[in-house]
Amino acid sequence: MVTMITDRIAVDTGQPAGQLWLVTGEGLAAWQAGQPATVGATLSAHRFRAKPGEVVLIPGDGGALHAVAGVASLTASGPWDLAALAEKLPAGSYRLADPALAEAFAPALLGWQLAHYRFERYRSDLPPLPERLLLWPDAAAVSDAQSLARAVARVRDMVTTPAADMGPSALAANVQAVGAAHGADVIVLTGEALLAANHPTIHMVGRAAADPPRLIDLAWGDPAHPKVTLVGKGVCFDSGGLDIKPASGMALMKKDMAGAAHALALAELVMAARLPVRLRLLIPAVENSISGIAFRPGDIVKTRKGLTVEIGNTDAEGRLILCDALALADEDQPAMILDFATLTGAARVALGPELPALFANSDDLADALLASGRAVHDPLWRLPLWTSYQDMLSSSVADLNNAGEGGFAGAITAALYLNRFVSAATPWAHIDLYGWQSSAKPGRPKGGEAMTLRACWHMLRQRFASAK
């Protein structure tokens, strides 16, 4: 169920295509001097200044359509640098007029492809998007961008799909479909089976919903390879539970499974590339709902790890389902655990919607993720596991409280809570992300959005691609 199937980028094999000139504002005069006078006249008529995203069409011989487009730089590009152009051009095939720019603009292939992403599942009134094909000389760059675009589209589709169609059962079906495509083993524990297998917190949070809670456990790859375990928060809808959210806080809560969507999309990239790792994907999937059997403020749950947790707030449910999944992940001592979660509003208050918060018990892993984020323009910002704030999670009747006291440093106290369930010897990174594009930008329509997916994939490839 990935919306965008048709590729809008392809390997250049000499097909008929219009020329695409990329020009910077500073370079415009010099470039124009080398063109026929008619080109200059056309650009002047359009007051073309070569600002990023600006484009002017130039009719060529024999019906060919060429374009001149403004870009910020000719020496480096980010993923979205050709996305506005892709959205503006008429249907047709295009290739770079200067193939020497292909290396610098390879990252922008992704944005060209994603400029053709549209969430169409519930729309019957949309005219088809213009088919704009970008031909590229480097086959590896095309294939990388296609894989990434499909992974991003999977995140967008899953997050934007409403909870009625993306409940715990649908989330499990998505994982099973991806797993089947790559020969992975997928085990799903559902409802009461969670208690028998000692996942009490996942059962507790999800038991009030009509679609029962699940733990989805995917395994793939050679057991002899280094073990990488991905964990994603799968709260398919978060009403807040008995500590119910106001309408304004609940409006977007279909997206509270974005962590699960990210973990699945990253798992798909790993499997599709046959990265030499032993992959495990753990997704606790629940709906935080309200009924007569809902868990309550003041309840105390004994977690899988044995720590008891007093429920200070039923709306801090993400860390509850994650703590049993992380404890399980830690039991077989993987080389690395990465978890993804739309965990706290506090992380958004601190860093805003575009910048996910990174927490890690390993400086080496954190540095690798930050460097990858910079390399692929998919940023993260590290916040500390500030241990003295652990006191804010204290309880007088249990080992821990799930809600931080006092309201300060909410993203940090949530991460400190999770930290209690992972042993210090296991390199672990926790990413607290928003997963949502609030207003449309080129290549990024309003709706679910992948954040840190490309950074994590870059880091995994750097670390494991040659470690056969």
Q: Give the active site residues.
A: 245, 319
Which part of the chain contacts Zn ion (CB under 5 A), choosing from 226-234, 238-246, 368-376, 378-386? 238-246
Q: Is 330 an interacting residue with respect to Zn ion (CB under 5 A)?
A: no
* 238: contact with Zn ion by CB under 5 A: yes
- At closest approach, how far in Å is the CB of 173 from Zn ion? 24
Which residues, including other chains, have CB under 8 Å from residue 160's CB and lie 6 or more apart?
119, 254, 255, 447, 448
* Distance of alpha carbon 148 from alpha carbon 112, whole angstroms: 12
H or E segment at 331?
helix 318-331
Which has the closest alpha carbon to 82: 91, 94, 64, 92? Answer: 94
**Alpha helices (H) along 6-106:** 28-33, 37-45, 83-88, 102-105
Instruction: Indicate the residue among 169 and 313 with the shorter CB distance to Zn ion.
Output: 313
Q: In terms of CB distance, is 149 or 242 closer to Zn ion?
A: 242
- CA 93 to chain CA centroid, nearest Å: 30
- The residue among 268 and 317 lying less far from Zn ion, judged by its C-beta, is 317
Q: Which amino acid is at 43?
A: L
Residue 223: CB partners within 8 Å, gap ≥ 6? 278
State which of positions 70-129 bind Zn ion (CB under 5 A): none
Minimum distance of Zn ion from residue 239's CB (angstroms): 8
Nearer to Zn ion, 310 or 317 (CB): 317
Q: Give 397's contacts (C-beta < 8 A, 6+ positions apart).
A: 300, 310
432 interacts with Zn ion by CB under 5 A? no
Nearer to Zn ion, 315 or 449 (CB): 315
Q: Which residue's CB is nearer to Zn ion, number 315 or number 378? A: 315
Among positions 42-61, residues that touch Zn ion (CB under 5 A) are: none
Q: Which residue is nearest to Zn ion (CB)?
A: 315
**Would you give the distance in Å from CA 405 to the centre of its chain?**
30
Rounded to 5 degrees, what are φ and ψ at 366? Answer: -60, -45
- Look up residue 77 and give its two tokens: 């590009």
At 359, list the tokens.
């927490």
In the complex, least distance from residue 373 CB atom to Zn ion, rounded to whole angstroms: 26
The distance of closest approach from Cβ of residue 341 to Zn ion in the complex, given in angstroms and rounded to an integer, is 11
- Nearest distance, CB of residue 309 and Zn ion, angstroms: 15
Only segment of 4-12, 16-24, 189-197, 231-239 that touches Zn ion (CB under 5 A): 231-239
83 C-beta neighbours (distance < 10 Å), count: 23
CB of 288 to Zn ion, least distance (A): 6
Contact mark string toward Zn ion, 438..457, x via CB under 5 A: --------------------
Residues in Cβ contact with 248 at an 8 Å cutoff, skipping those fewer than 6 apart: none
Backbone angles phi, psi at 215, to 5 degrees: -120, 120
- x/- binding map, residues 185-224, to Zn ion, per CB under 5 A? ----------------------------------------
**Which distant-in-sequence residues (6+ apart) come within 8 Å of 443 by Cβ?**
79, 80, 83, 84, 86, 87, 110, 111, 112, 114, 115, 117
Q: Which of 28, 61, 53 lies closest to 43, judged by CA?
A: 28
Structure-token match 């993400």, residue found = 318
Closest CB to Zn ion among residues 12, 310: 310
The smaller minimum CB distance to Zn ion, of residues 54 and 287, is found at 287
Tell me how far, at minimum, the Cβ of 82 lies from Zn ion, in Å.
38
**Beta carbon of residue 287, minimum distance to Zn ion (angstroms, whole number):** 11
Measured CA to CA, the distance from residue 416 to residue 422 in angstroms comes to 10
CA distances from 370 to 94, 355, 360, 403, 430 (A): 35, 12, 11, 28, 13
What are the backbone dihedrals phi and psi of residue 114, each rounded to the nearest 5 degrees, phi first? -75, -15
Pair 277, 225: CB distance under 8 Å? yes
Work out how close the CB of 76 gets to Zn ion at its nearest, in angstroms, rounded to a whole number.
40
Q: Lay out the site mask for Zn ion across 304-323 (x = CB under 5 A, - = otherwise).
A: -----------x-x------
Size, binding site for Zn ion by CB under 5 A: 3
Indicate the residue among 85 and 403 with the shorter CB distance to Zn ion.
Answer: 403
Q: Which residues bind Zn ion (CB under 5 A)?
A: 238, 315, 317
